[in-house]
Amino acid sequence: MIIVYSPRGGEVQRFDARLRVSETVRAAQTVDRSWPDIRSSLDVDRESMRVVAWVVQKRDQPDLRYGDFDPFEDELAVKLDRDEVRRYAEALAGAAWLEKDATTASVTARLRGVPLIADDREHAEQLVTSLAVARPKDHPSPGEPTTGPSETPEP
């Protein structure tokens, strides 16, 4: 996950939420919560976003105090990194292609929200296009003959 900090009138900053173990301990102690709780709530909890962004900033600014990083609530957002987008989109596309009447259009519709949650929107749009255009080999079109052993018993 990527935490995007967009201060009004300032430069947008991105913080990778992937932390070192020592940083997870610092984050948990700072907000008096467990790291698994912080990590699992990153996409919805502004305090979780704030503490992770603060810990990442401390790598370059060791003297930065937690109270000194207090963004407005609408200045923080979470986006998915490229790997997370790929895994999520592939799972959605795989499920969409399993639908009985799956088409490129229906799969594209199922994936339309993926670029909105991606940090790299262009990459996500290209991925959505490629996943929606090519039906996976393991999901043949309805009525398409499959290759494999014959279902008729041998004499």
- pLDDT, tens digit, 9 for 90 and up, residues 38-81: 999 999 999 999 999 999 999 999 999 999 999 999 999 999 99
Alpha carbon distance 71, 47 (integer Å): 10
For residue range 90-110, list pLDDT tens digits in order. 999 999 999 888 889 999 999
| Contact assessment for residue 110 and residue 92, using Cβ atoms and an 8 Å cutoff | yes
pLDDT number for residue 134:
72
Q: What are phi and psi of 80, to 5 degrees?
A: -90, 140
In Å, what is the CA distance from 43 to each residue of 25, 46, 69, 99, 147?
20, 8, 19, 29, 44
**pTM confidence score:** 0.77
CB 106 within 8 A of CB 99: yes
- In whole angstroms, what is the distance from residue 11 CA to residue 66 CA? 20
Give pLDDT tens digits for 19-32.
Answer: 999 999 999 999 99
Helix (H) or strand (E) holding 16: strand 13-16
